[in-house]
Chains A and B, each alone.
Chain A
Amino acid sequence: MPTPSASGKNRPIAPFVVITIFALAMTIGIALDEPRQVLAQAIRICLSCIGIG
C-alpha cells in the first residue's frame, strides 16, 4: 500500500484555484436553476441522441 513520504512542501496552489472557480460556476448554475433543465432533458428519451428520429 502507498505510504505518505513527503512533507507537503512545494504544494501547488493552481489546482485549488481551478477547483474553486469551477465550484463557483457550478453554484451559479444551481442558482440559475440549471439542474432542473438537466433533469427535464435526462428523463426524456432523446431519440436523436440514440440515433433514431
Chain B
Amino acid sequence: MEYIRKWVQALATLLSNSSWTFPVTRNIYQGPVKVLCSPGLNCYSCPAASLACPIGSIQQLLGNLRFGLEAGQYHLGLYVVGFMGVLGGFFGRMVCGWMCPFGLFQELLYKLPGRKWGVPRPLRFIKFAVLALMVFILPYAVADQFGAGEPWFCKYLCPAGTLEAGIPMLLLQPSLRQTIGWLFVNKMFWLVFFIGWSVVASRPFCRTTCPLGAFYALFARVKLVRLHWDASRCTDCRACHAVCPMGVEIDRAPEDTECITCLKCMNQACQYGAISLRIGGLELQAKQGRQRPNQSPAA
C-alpha cells in the first residue's frame, strides 16, 4: 500500500504541476484550467503549476474584499472554502498524506540518513493560529493606503512558494533578481529551516505550520474516510506508534487531528487487525490479522 501511496503522491504532484512550457515561455501557465484549486499546498506562481493554490486564493480574495464590497461584489472565498470543505468532508487530512506535493517533498527529505527526532506535540497548535491569523484575519483586517490586504502567509512564511516559485522564477526571469530584498531573505530562511528540520524530523511543516493541513484537520471527527481502532483486538504492543509519520497514537486518540490516513499503522505495523479503514461506516479491512494472545477462540 505504501508503494501505491507513493505513486499517488507523485501523480498528484505531476497533475498539480503539469504545464511544462515554461522553459520556452519563461513564464507561469496562464490557461483556464487554473480556475481549479489544487488539493494540496502548491504555489500557483510555480512555473509548472496548472492549478491554483487554495490558501493563496483565499488570501487574495480576502485582501481584495474591501474593493469588492464597495463595488457590490461579495467575493468572500466561498468557492475556495467550499472546495476545501468538500475535500475535507470526504478525506480530511488524507489529502496531506496522498496528494500534497510539499508533503511528498518532506517525506523524501526524511529518507536521508542520519539521527531522527520527534516533533513536540504542543507545536501542532501553531498551524491553527497560522490559518486563522495569516490566512483569514490579517489579509482582510490589515490594509495598505489603497485598501488592499496582503497574502500574509504566502508573503512572510510559505516555504512551498519559495521552493516552487521564488527560486525558479529568479532563474527564469533575471530581471526579478534586482528586486531581491529582506523579504526574500526571510522566505529563504524559512525554506532552509523547514528543509533542515524535515531531514531530522518527519513532516515538521505539516505538523506545526501548514494552514491547509490545519483546515483539513478540522474534519477529523466528521470525515467520510477514516481509520478505525478496535480495542478488543489491540495488544497494546505500540507498533503503530513507531511507524506513524505524524506521531499519532491511534490507540490513545483514534480521531487524532494529525492522522493523514497513510495506512502505515494498518498495513505495516498491526499484526492483529486492530486497525481498519472505514468509508462512510463501511469497513474495509486489510487483513483479519492474528488473534490476540490472551483472546480465547470463542471470544
Contacts and interface: CB of A to CB of B under 8 A. Distances in A.
Contacts of B52: 38-39, 41-42
Given A6-B281, A51-B162, A29 B82 contact: yes
Contact of A34 (B77, B154, B169): B77
Interface residues of A, number: 46
B82 A25 contact: yes
Nearest to A34: B79
B158 interface: yes
Interface residues of B, number: 71
B45 A49 contact: yes
Contact of B162 (A4, A25, A45, A50): A50
Contacts, number: 194
B57 A32 contact: no
Interface of B: 27-32, 34-35, 37, 43-45, 52-53, 56-57, 60-61, 64, 73-86, 88-90, 150-151, 154-155, 158, 161-162, 165-166, 169-170, 176, 179-181, 183-184, 186-188, 219, 221-224, 276-278, 280-286
Contacts of B165: 45-46, 49-50
B222 A49 contact: no
Nearest to B28: A45
Contacts of A46: 44-45, 56, 60, 151, 154, 165
- 10 nearest CB pairs, A to B: A26-B82, A22-B85, A29-B79, A51-B187, A11-B281, A29-B78, A25-B82, A19-B89, A34-B79, A49-B154
Q: Which of B53, B84, B86, B186 has the most CB of A within 10 A?
A: B86
Given A41-B60, A49-B155, A50-B162, A12 B184 contact: no
